[in-house]
Amino acid sequence: MEPSKKQQKRMFFRYGTRYEDVLRELGINQETVILLKDGELVPLDEVASSGNLSIKKITSQG
């Protein structure tokens, strides 16, 4: 299996946009991912700021 390629996208949002709004704009279900900004976990209700945001898909082995 080939490793997945990182998809990079530069986005601009108005001041006050929260990370949950970013996910909504991208069409991503917020219950299926975690967000890392510059390597640190960020809550979805935090106001988005500039920096490198990684969206990591999580899975449950329930």
- Which pLDDT value is given to residue 2? 46
CA dist., res. 41 & res. 55, Å (int) = 10
pTM of the model: 0.76
- Which pLDDT value is given to residue 1? 40
Q: Beta strands 53-57 and 33-37: pairing type?
A: antiparallel
Query: In tens digits, what is the pLDDT along the chain, a chain of 62 residues?
Result: 444 556 777 878 889 999 999 999 999 999 999 999 988 999 999 999 888 889 999 887 76
Residues 56, 58, 62, CA angle at the centre, nearest 5°?
175
